[in-house]
Structure 1
Amino acid sequence: MFKPVTHVLFDMDGLLLNTEDLYTVGFQKVASRFGKEFTFELKSKIMGQQSKEFAGTIIDDLGLPLTVDEFLSETRAIFDELFPQCQIMPGVEKLIRHLHDHNVGIGLATSSSKESYDLKTVNHQKLFDLFPCKTWGTSDPDVKKGKPFPDIFFVAANKFPDKPAPEKCLVFEDSINGVKAARAAGMQVVMVPDPRLDRARATEATLILDSVADFKPELFGLPPYKN
């Protein structure tokens, strides 16, 4: 059912860090000024998109009287305070350190900008320093389109020195857009979705888990955890 892999790519927001909760707080704060609600349905639509993409989607869906630049400027001020408070999700540190210790190629493939990444990881540097390869979709000119397009995963995989074939890469994602992007890139994908997501909508995921803590590396030919 699952094919063995040699490299693993990780999304960040909502998967490694609980920043999706913080995004919701920030977007709702702006929406509330205009009597609007930032719903989970809208959240599901934008997850994985680059900054200007999600800003445009939110503005259009909620009918906000703001330009993309105005929306991003306003939310950036909010997130400057919120992002440094983010926490690592359950099971994440164990898995990343395990793969690193066993010399498995690991890479970060986040739609976030480099500036946003720096805010989110300021208190988690030791963990994120374990990633030798990082791709920030919003900041990387080689990532032409955000998720659900596969650009970011092709770019991220190409940063590994041995440039593995797509079928040798396993992706960890929390969003439907991310799953679609990974599958479009020809990669297997483990999805760890928000509990509110209707899993019937995630038919393209190779495997769906409640938590990264539930992952068994040996299912994909990776070194198993020691008991």
Structure 2
Amino acid sequence: MSLKAVLFDMDGVIVDTEPLHRKAYFKTFEELNADVSEELYTSFTGASTKKVCETLIQTFGLSQSYEDIAAIKRAHFKDYFYNDLDFDLMPGVRKLIEHYYQNNIKLILASSATMTTINMVFEKFGLGKYFIGKISGADLKESKPHPEIFQLAAKMANEPIENCMVIEDSTNGILAAHNAHIFCAAYKSFHTHNQDYSLANMVITDYSEIEKDKISKYFK
């Protein structure tokens, strides 16, 4: 038993798109003349774009359809994604990805983001060559905390689950890894708030902590 595959979550682990979504949403609210409070915006956390748009239509009596509002938001998000100078990979993650790649560890991306967003991230930061597979939770029947996404990722890596490790940053993701019985390293960054790490096998604040030789003791 040894570490053969690492299953990466994306948002909060490889990149943090939350500030971009926030800017895109507030620009959209402004265009719609919808005075969205911080409290209302916070309640959108984890909700799909469709749910957010439907809430806006209902709360502010908007005449636009869900599709219209989603299109406005998507256009703003794309603009920030390519032009916001603050948007970059999480500190140390490129080095870690290269380290695993050089050590012949298979890398799979298993994210709840849409495949469109996953591909945008991979293209912008040139990550494609390191990963042997990508799974979008948006294409699956079940979403995290259901273990399906990580079970599929292990299968895609063609490795038994005891040779796999998940890197996650959210309560639901950690729970999904736990439910799949896969070793989970929870990444706690300065962006992370109010997440429950109790079911993770280890909690890290720096990616150098999970280099191959440093975690080999867990895979014996």
Residue in 2 that maps onto 1:23: 21
User: Are 1:8 and 2:2 counterparts?
Assistant: no
Find 1:198's aligned residue among 172, 186, 194.
194
3-state SS of paired residue (2:71): helix
> Are residues 219 and 205 of structure 1, via their aligned partners in 2, closer, same or farther at CA, if it must alter by over 3 Å?
same
SS of the residue corresponding to residue 14 of structure 2 reads coil
Q: 2:179 is matched with which residue: 184, 200, 208?
A: 184
Select which of 210, 214, 219 maps to 2:205.
210
Residue 214 (structure 1) shift: 3.9
CA RMSD of aligned residues (A): 2.8
Does the 8 A contact of 1:80 with 1:119 survive in 2? no
SS at match of 1:108: strand
- Aligned residue for 2:10, secondary structure, equals coil
- 1:167 deviation in Å? 2.9
Specify the SS of the correspondent of 1:123: helix
Task: State the Cα distance separating 1:146 from its structure 2 match.
Answer: 2.0
Q: TM-score, normalised by structure 1?
A: 0.76
- 1:153 maps to which residue? 150
TM-aligned CA distance change 1:57 to 1:5, over 3 Å = farther
Unaligned segments of structure 2, at least 5 residues? none
Structure 2 residue aligned with 1:50: none
Q: Residues 73 and 164 of structure 1: is their aligned pair in 2 closer, same or farther, counting only changes over 3 Å?
A: same
Aligned residue for 2:48, secondary structure, equals: helix
Native 8 Å contact 2:54 2:66 kept in 1: no
| Structure 2 match to 1:121 | 122
TM-score (norm 2): 0.78
Confirm or deny that 1:131 pairs with 2:131: yes
In 1, Cα distance between equivalents of 2:210 and 2:105: 16
1:56 Cα deviation from its structure 2 partner: 4.5
Between structures 1 and 2, the one with greater helix share: 2
**Which range moves more in the overlay, 105-114 or 204-213?**
204-213
Of 41, 49, 52, the match for 1:55:
49
CA offsets 1:24-74 (integer angstroms, 9 cap, x no match): 22233335542223568546x41xxxxxx5225545777465765444323
Structure 1: unaligned runs, 5 residues or longer: 47-52, 223-227
Larger radius of gyration: 2
Determine if contact 2:99/2:211 at 8 Å carries over to the other structure: no
For 1:70 and 1:104, the matched residues in 2 are separated by: 43
Q: How many residues align?
A: 206
Distance verdict in 2 for CA 1:22–1:190, change over 3 Å: same
The alignment-based identity, stated in percent, is: 26
